[in-house]
Structure 1
């Protein structure tokens, strides 16, 4: 089933009834599993996630003293690395629709705001840099989210979207799918406190598999008015989408 243009992926009936139910499902599953998220992520990434996130931020142009809006801050995994780059002169605002995730953020100097990518609780031109880490697949409207990112960035401001993409090789896709769809949920059942954590990580892969291809993400970024739109990949699966607001 081909998704409509504004959706990051076709509806997934195994998890929610329809698109109206989508946002409620995403908020609920992240609320219920927030306490386990960091523990499972560290095990899944073999402890390398923090190093990679920092490198991606630097590659995208984050600098000392920047004011950054981190959309979909979650438990603060990307924000923590951003704070090490911007230093004491910088400022970070974290936005997330999940109260459960926000309650797990342990970054005293970060300002937290409840909100969704499609309607950010931010002033126009408020940010030098906007990051969106591994949450693109969870939005309800790709175009609306990107238009909001464009609005919140000042002229010359930089955008970084981190996502996981399917490998181009059939063998690699099968291996990654087995790891993400079977191994990670099994790992979650072992280390998690909440019973729904395994479901979250199954959903995680299913959204990756169903997500619109990278070329359509790049087209959507250009459609929103961004320039210098690029995609960089690491290990064939970690996609870094970058752009500049003119």
Structure 2
């Protein structure tokens, strides 16, 4: 019996890597090398509003005090810090990431950190009340495998939040966002970063946004994985919040 073909989040990008095995190595290397700069560039790019938005998105998705959260792709902890502010002392947060460099930069008191990939989470069945996946959907190697893992790790009634950046619908809006992400942000990165690769990482960010499968396919994949109440909410036409409940 043949294995199903992995559902990639975007077409291969030969300017950065040659095949899917090289893709995984490239992403890990880039995040390892640029982790020290990540928070500094994000603050400059979001004009300091990123934390407020992430907390609002978590609350819109149903995160509440006392929840046990698995934050996949924790990175440096940008989403996790806001989740901890919501769940409080009675909650618990587990952060998962494949990048040792990113995990070394996490500063989230009380968080339990685990090395692992979205497609093979180091978590037990039904371990989480809430699972968050912040701005890392474009970096997985198999959309369906990752979503099935999210379904497995959530308890019945558990809630899922996937945060992503999507292309705006209008041509002018797309052009403006592309100019900002592809030109302005890498320039900012060169100014404030310590690592040379940080500017390349943010150029890669836009290229994956531009190539990513459309929101309708993401919603369909969530339904294929067995989720219910699958929805997409957008802010400013570019910040997508995909939410769902495990039955």
Does the TM-score normalized on the shorter chain lie above 0.5? Answer: yes
> SS of the counterpart of 2:217?
helix
Once the 2 structures are TM-superposed, how far is the Cα of residue 28 of structure 1 from its aligned partner? 0.2
Mapping for residues 177-192 of structure 1, pairs under 5 Å: 177-192=178-193
Mapping for residues 63-78 of structure 1, pairs under 5 Å: 63-78=64-79
Once the 2 structures are TM-superposed, how far is the Cα of residue 5 of structure 1 from its aligned partner? 6.2
Aligned residue in 2 for 1:96: 97
Aligned residue in 1 for 2:137: 136
Once the 2 structures are TM-superposed, how far is the Cα of residue 9 of structure 1 from its aligned partner? 0.1
Alignment RMSD, CA only? 0.7
Mapping for residues 1-246 of structure 1, pairs under 5 Å: 6-246=7-247
Whether the aligned pair in 1 keeps the contact of 2:6 and 2:141 (CA below 8 Å) is no
Gaps of 5+ in 1: none
TM-score normalised to structure 2 length: 0.98
TM-score normalised to structure 1 length: 0.98
Once the 2 structures are TM-superposed, how far is the Cα of residue 188 of structure 1 from its aligned partner? 0.2
> SS of the counterpart of 1:35?
helix
Deviant stretches of 4+, over 2 Å? none
CA deviation string 1:90-138 (max 9, x = no partner):
0000000000000000112000000000000000000000000000000
The CA distance in 1 between the partners of 2:22 and 2:119, in whole Å, is 16
| Worse-superposed segment, 16-25 or 172-181 | 16-25
> SS of the counterpart of 2:83?
helix
